[in-house]
Structure formats: C-alpha cells, structure tokens
Amino acid sequence: MIDVTAPPGTPPAKARNRVLKQNRRHVPVLATLALLIIMYAVGVANYRGFSDTQVVLNIFVDNAFLLVVAAGMTFVILTGGIDLSVGAVVALTTTVAATLLHAGWPAAVVLPLVLLIGTVLGLGMGAVIHFFQVEPFIATLAGMFLARGIALLINRNSIPITDGFWTAMAEERIRFGPGVFISTSVVIALIVVLIGAYVLAYTRFGRTVYAIGGSADSALLMGLPVGRTRIAVYTLSGFCSALGGVLYSFYMSSGYSLNAQGMELDAIAAVVIGGVLLTGGSGYLFGTVLGVLVLGLIQTIITFQGTLSSWWTRIVVGVLLFAFIVLQRAVTRRTR
C-alpha cells in the first residue's frame, strides 16, 4: 500500500519504504505493550488478588512522580541528549519545600518557588550545552552534583512536612468505588503526559524536537531553531523534575537531601524500555508511560512473590534494557 502522505510524484518504491519506516518505529512500543500484557497475565496466573483493580491503580499511585520526571526526560532523549540531574533536582525540591514549610512559609509561595528553582537549573544546563558546546552528559552531571550539594548544604536530615495544603494533597483520594482510588498526584502526572503528548504530536516545537534527534545539522539547514529548542527541552526537564519532586514530597510527606538517588537511571530506563531511541529522533510519550508501568509491575510482582530481594528489580530492569537496546538497533538497521 502506497503512503498517501507521500509528495505527488514520489516513486512507489520510495513510498513503500516510507510506510515501512513508519511502521518499524512502532515496533519497540508494541514490544513494550506486549511485555506489559504478558507480565500482568503471569502475575494474575500466579498470585491471588493480583487481578484486583487497585493493584493496577497502585502502580500509578506509587510511580506518579517518576512518570512526570520520565516525561521530561523523553523530550531530552528525543533530541539525542541526556539529563543526569533529575534525581538530584527532585531531592533539592523536596528539601527546599520541607525547609521553607517548616519555617512557616505559605504553600502558595513555596510551590511556585521550588518549581522555579528546577526550571532555572534546567535552563542553565541547556544554555551551557548550547552556548559552550558542552556534552549533555558532562553538563547535566555537573548539574546533578550542584543540585545534590545544595540540598545537602541546606539540611542533611529528613524534614517532616505538616503543612495543611501538602497534607491535604497527600491524603486526597479520587474514588471510583469501595477500595478503588487514585491520588491527586496521578491526575497531575496524567495531565502532564497528555500535554506533553499533544506538544510532541501537534506543535512546531514537537516536530523540531524530533528533527534535532534525527539530525541536528539537517535541522539547522532547514532553518529550525535548534539552539532555542535544545535549551527549551532541558528547561522543560528541569520543570518536570521539580514537579516530580513536589509529587514525591506528597508521597513521602517529608523532604530529604538523599531522596531519589538513582531516579535519573529509572527515568532513562523507563524511556528506553518505552521505545524511545537513545540516539534521538524516534519514540512516543505513550511508550514512556508503558515503560514506567513495566518498572512498576516488576516491583509489584516481586512484592507479591515475597521471597525475592528488592535488588531483583534492578536485575530484571537491566536485562530488559539490554533486550530493548538490541531491539532498537535491529529496527534502526532495517530502517536504514
């Protein structure tokens, strides 16, 4: 079947190749979806109560903050970059929020302030990457040390949060029936995902993100705002990290400078398992959601098993990462 979106006069062979390339881009996402279904079926077959609706909803409840952080990471990786600072920004956000709330600051001031801090950090890293031609790995590694260091400087102890607004947000539940609910954090995370998916699919900014990941040089020759877009995606990632930190503080009801250690690796793993190419230019935010669900389902199965160490989660995630990287390489080679 010839691609109807192909320009007039496109030879049938080239049109068919374009269709095949488009179809192959869906392979990693479909593989993730199939894996998720198989894992859930195995859980239902082996563990009593695994089929309860709340078990699935708890995956969203327990990983809402990771979903927001991974959404920001998706934009960065789609441009061919990486952001190692997200976990440290989450920790800084929880520490600053808890410290200011404990000092009596109103939540209406603290909430926008911590979101601004994360956004400014992301903006700074994006500017360094663009204007000084620093590799994203190095720039965001420096950002990670900076954010974690500031958090440790502010307070090395866990700080409980007793503010009325924070407590209400942490305890609020949206109920669908007896014992079936989600938290407000899940609603916030899903709103972020929907907005992000719309931006990637239907805006010029989203198309530019994909173009930069495909080839930054070609994007420049096309007249696209490469530098501005690169700075914007790291700014967005910083904002999502700060928002993820707020949701994490709702979840933990405390702030701690050592929170979220390794979360940057979890976010990258979720994005890659969700089918986004590490080299950029291909992938979907829906795949990232599936990747987060896969990570959450692995933790849930291990919890239901009861006899396995939590470190098995890392082992399984490592195996899946290897498998999906190999799958990505196979798909990209065939596309070429």
Residue 177, beta-bridge partner list: 180
Q: Residues of the chain with pLDDT > 90: what percent?
A: 79
Is pLDDT at 1 greater than 90 in this prediction? no
Q: Please, what's the b/e burial string for 14-46 (b: 16 or more CB within 10 A of its CB; e: otherwise)? A: ebeeebeeeeebebbbebbbebbeebbeebeee
25-335 CATH, one of 1.10.3210, 3.30.70, 2.60.40, 1.10.3470: 1.10.3470
Confidence of residue 142 (pLDDT cuts 50, 70, 90): very high
Q: What is the pLDDT of residues 147-159, one digit of tens each?
A: 999 999 999 999 9
Measure Cα distances from 130 to 57, 230, 257, 264, 320 in Å.
40, 7, 29, 21, 33
Which range is least confidently modeled, 7-11, 105-109, 170-174? 7-11
Encoded tokens for 331: 């798909």
Q: Is the CB of residue 59 less than 8 Å from the CB of residue 297?
A: yes
Report d(CA 277, CA 329) in Å as an integer. Answer: 9
Is pLDDT at 23 greater than 70 in this prediction? no
Residue 54, pLDDT score: 95
Q: What is the pLDDT of residues 272-291, one digit of tens each?
A: 999 999 889 989 999 999 99
Cβ-count burial of 8 within 10 angstroms (0-12 exposed, 13-18 middle, 19+ buried)?
exposed
Domain ranges of the chain: 25-335
Residue 22, pLDDT score: 56
Is pLDDT at 82 greater than 50 in this prediction? yes
Residue 27, pLDDT score: 84
Residue 5, pLDDT score: 47
Report d(CA 158, CA 211) in Å as an integer. Answer: 43
Q: What is the pLDDT of residues 38-57, one digit of tens each?
A: 999 999 999 999 999 999 99
Report d(CA 269, CA 247) in Å as an integer. Answer: 20
Is pLDDT at 183 greater than 70 in this prediction? yes
- Is-above-0.75 flag for pTM? yes
Is pLDDT at 109 greater than 50 in this prediction? yes
Residue 334, pLDDT score: 58
Arithmetic mean of pLDDT, 194-223: 96
Report d(CA 299, CA 55) in Å as an integer. Answer: 12
- CB neighbours of 198 closer than 8 A, spacing ≥ 6? none
Q: How many CA atoms lie within 13 A of 103 on its CB side?
A: 11
Phi and psi at 218, nearest 5°, equal -65, -40
Residue 181, beta-bridge partner list: 175
Residue 314, pLDDT score: 85
Confidence of residue 25 (pLDDT cuts 50, 70, 90): confident
Closest CA to 94 of 263, 253, 217, 280: 253
Arithmetic mean of pLDDT, 116-130: 98
